[in-house]
Every structure is written in structure tokens, then in C-alpha cells.
């Protein structure tokens, strides 16, 4: 089953986030058995969006969490608070956090572990910058980021992990990436996960999704690649018709091999 995650970033007021949640819920079927849909509002909008989603199958995600369980961390939000609100998925290491607030790999690793402690599915974001791409470092960077986040984890008995491959230079740019190029990075991520965890564990528990200027016009190309298990959508998730068209495409797209 594919996974479609909307990252609303810091784009909306609470009232706008509630309205968007209502519109998305109204446009989707009451039950979804062939796709998982997650929306990630900002912290302040989480509870209002949860309420606005009502009984819809859309699941709540957060955009970040604190690496510590509790304590003197002014301004942070803990995984247990997020779990209390009903958050099931959490973005970790998004490139905007790696660059704007200098999240490093040790912190990102601790956040992944914290997500598991609070029974949430971490959505680890990885991807190369334009400069790294131009220097031929894409594969090295992506593998390093996955290893830094996932090696030496204590895995709970039941858990799932998602890696979102997001080329940093594509995010928010409207640039179209060749799905074949995206698929290549997905292979590298999957092989790295198989090496870290064992092939069986990686194939059972890890999903690898694509993000970066995904919209209803280009999604079919990505989903036609069997190594791409879904999408992480920023800008296009802020419009209910656009986002629900992406969900619809994920329900019906055929992977061609
Ligand atoms: P975008 O954002 O779809 O607007 O490129 C993706 C993301 O930042 O997760």
C-alpha cells in the first residue's frame, strides 16, 4: 500500500489548517484500504486539525519532535505530548530543519529513537543539495544520512520506518526530476536499509517515498517505479483538490517495473 504524506510546513493559520483538513476529509472516501494518507500541520494546529478530520481515514503527523522525553527544553514539544494528541507519524531531519536550525546527524538519530519510544513512525528525510549533486556526491550523502539516523537503533518489536528521499534542490522549486533518477536513489536507500537491518526486516518494516515538487501532473511518473512506495508533498498539499488528486493517483497508479 502506498503512503501519501502532506507537509503543511508553517504556511497556514489554524483556521486555514482546520478548513483544509475538512476539505481533504470531505473529498476522500470514508474508508481507504488501498492508500495511507497522512497530513502534518504545524504543532499549534495539530489538535484542531485532528478534530476537523473527525472520523476520516486521514492520519495525523507532526513535522518534528524533541529528542528528549521531558525536561528543561524551552520551546520544544515532546513525543509523549504528540502521542497524547494522536500523532502517529513524525517527520525527522527535514532539509529545512537541517539547514535553518542546523540539526545534525546525532540529533536526528536521537529523534528517530524518541519517535519509537512514543510509538510513532519516523519519516526520515534525506537528500543531497545542488552542490553535492554537482560534485557527484548524491549517493554518498544519501547513504551517510540513512546510516547516521538508523544504525545502532533499538528497534521496538513492532515498528515501521519511512525514509523520504527529497533532493534538497528540488524542494519548493517546481523543478521536475526524472523519476528514473529518483528511483536510483531509492535503490541505494533500500540497499542501505537492508544492510543496516537485514533484508527481511528492511523489506517488511521500511518504506521509501519520494518528495520534492510532487504534484498531480508528475506523480504518475514516480509511482510507476516499484521502488517508490509513496510521496511526501509540500506545496501541492495545501490545496485540497490538488492533494486529493495526488491521493487518487496513488490509489490507482500501476507500478510498471
Ligand atoms: P514541495 O515540498 O513539495 O513543496 O517541494 C516537499 C517537502 O518539503 O517535503
Q: What are 17's three cell numbers?
A: 489548517
Ligand 1 pocket check for 171: Cβ under 6 Å = yes
Alpha-carbon distance of 110 to 194, in angstroms, equals 21
Ligand 1 pocket check for 172: Cβ under 6 Å = yes
Q: State the helix-helix crossing angle for 240-252 and 14-27, rounded to 10 degrees.
A: 40
Ligand 1 pocket check for 235: Cβ under 6 Å = yes
Q: What are 141's three cell numbers?
A: 550523502
Q: What is the dihedral of CA 69, 63, 57, 251, to 10 degrees?
A: -130
Q: Give the pLDDT score at 179.
A: 95
| Residue 68 annotated among the catalytic residues of the structure | no
Among residues 18, 128, 132, 166, the one annotated as catalytic is 166
Residue 204 near residue 184, CB atoms below 8 Å: no
How many C-beta atoms lie closer than 10 Å to residue 213's C-beta?
A: 19
- Provide, rounded to the nearest whole percent, the portion of the chain with pLDDT above 90: 95
Mutate to test the pocket of ligand 1, among 173, 212, 214 (most ligand atoms within 8 A of CB): 212
Query: How confident is the model over 39-81, as pLDDT tens digits?
Result: 999 999 999 999 999 999 999 999 999 999 999 999 999 999 9
Taking CA atoms only, the protein residue closest to ligand 1 atom 2 is 234
Query: Range with the lowest mean pLDDT among 30-34, 76-80, 104-108, 204-208?
Result: 30-34
Among residues 94, 96, 132, 186, the one annotated as catalytic is 94
Alpha-carbon distance of 93 to 64, in angstroms, equals 8
Residue 257 has pLDDT above 80, yes or no: no
Alpha-carbon distance of 195 to 139, in angstroms, equals 15
Ligand 1 pocket check for 211: Cβ under 6 Å = yes
Query: Can you tell me whether residue 192 is helix, strand or coil?
Result: helix
- 55 against 148, higher pLDDT: 148
Local confidence band at 144 (pLDDT 50, 70, 90 cut-offs): very high
- 177 against 232, higher pLDDT: 232
- 256 against 161, higher pLDDT: 161
Ligand 1 pocket check for 86: Cβ under 6 Å = no
Query: How confident is the model over 94-112, as pLDDT tens digits?
Result: 999 999 999 999 999 999 9
DSSP states of 36-100:
EEEEE--GGGHHHHHHHHTT-SPEEEES---SSSSSS-TT---HHHHHHHT--EEEES-HHHHHH
Q: Can you tell me the mean pLDDT for 146-166?
A: 96
Of the candidates 12, 228, 209, 222, which has an alpha carbon nearest to the alpha carbon of residue 122?
209
| Residue 103 annotated among the catalytic residues of the structure | no
Q: What are 70's three cell numbers?
A: 521531558
Alpha-carbon distance of 25 to 30, in angstroms, equals 8
Residue 171 near residue 211, CB atoms below 8 Å: yes
Ligand 1 atom with minimal separation from the 214 CA = 3
Q: What are 236's three cell numbers?
A: 501541492
Alpha-carbon distance of 209 to 21, in angstroms, equals 22
Using the mean position of ligand 1's atoms as its centre, give its distance from the Cα of residue 166 in Å: 8
Q: Can you tell me the mean pLDDT for 32-39?
A: 95
Ligand 1 pocket check for 127: Cβ under 6 Å = no
Cα 16 versus chain centre, distance: 22
Q: Give the pLDDT score at 176.
A: 80
Alpha-carbon distance of 74 to 194, in angstroms, equals 38
CA atoms within 13 A on the CB side of 140: 6
Mutate to test the pocket of ligand 1, among 166, 215, 216, 219 (most ligand atoms within 8 A of CB): 166
Ligand 1 pocket check for 219: Cβ under 6 Å = no
Using the mean position of ligand 1's atoms as its centre, give its distance from the Cα of residue 39 in Å: 13
Residue 253 has pLDDT above 80, yes or no: no
Mean per-residue pLDDT of the chain: 96
Residue 227 near residue 208, CB atoms below 8 Å: yes
Residue 254 has pLDDT above 70, yes or no: no
Amino acid at each position: 500500500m502506498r503512503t501519501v504524506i502532506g507537509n503543511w510546513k508553517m504556511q497556514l493559520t489554524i483556521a486555514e489548517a482546520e478548513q483544509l483538513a475538512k476539505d481533504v476529509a470531505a473529498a476522500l472516501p470514508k474508508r481507504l484500504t488501498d492508500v495511507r494518507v497522512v497530513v502534518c500541520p504545524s504543532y499549534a494546529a495539530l489538535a484542531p486539525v485532528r478534530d476537523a478530520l473527525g472520523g476520516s481515514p486521514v492520519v495525523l503527523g507532526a513535522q518534528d519532535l524533541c529528542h528528549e522525553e521531558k525536561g528543561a527544553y524551552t520551546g520544544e514539544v515532546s513525543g509523549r505530548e504528540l502521542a497524547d494528541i494522536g500523532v502517529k507519524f513524525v517527520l525527522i531531519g527535514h532539509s529545512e530543519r537541517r539547514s535553518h536550525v542546523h540539526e545534525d546527524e546525532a540529533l536526528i538519530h536521537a529523534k528517530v529513537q524518541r519517535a519509537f519510544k512514543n510509538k510513532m513512525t519516523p519519516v526520515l528525510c534525506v537528500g543531497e543539495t545542488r552542490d553535492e549533486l554537482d560534485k557527484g556526491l548524491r549517493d554518498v550523502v544519501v547513504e551517510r544520512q540513512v546510516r547516521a539516523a538508523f544504525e545502532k537503533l533499538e528497534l521496538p518489536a513492532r515498528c515501521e520506518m519511512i525514509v523520504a528521499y527529497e533532493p534538497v534542490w528540488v524542494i519548493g522549486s517546481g523543478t521536475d526530476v526524472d523519476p528514473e533518477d529518483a528511483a536510483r536513489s531509492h535503490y541505494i536507500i533500500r540497499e542501505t536499509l537492508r544492510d543496516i537491518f537485514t533484508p527481511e526486516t528492511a523489506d517488511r518494516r521500511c518504506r521509501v517515498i519520494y518528495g520534492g515538487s510532487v504534484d498531480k501532473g508528475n506523480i504518475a511518473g514516480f509511482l510507476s517505479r516499484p521502488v517508490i512506495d509513496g510521496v511526501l508533498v509540500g506545496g501541492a498539499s495545501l490545496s485540497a483538490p490538488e492533494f486529493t488528486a495526488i491521493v487518487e493517483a496513488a490509489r490507482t497508479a500501476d507500478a510498471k517495473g
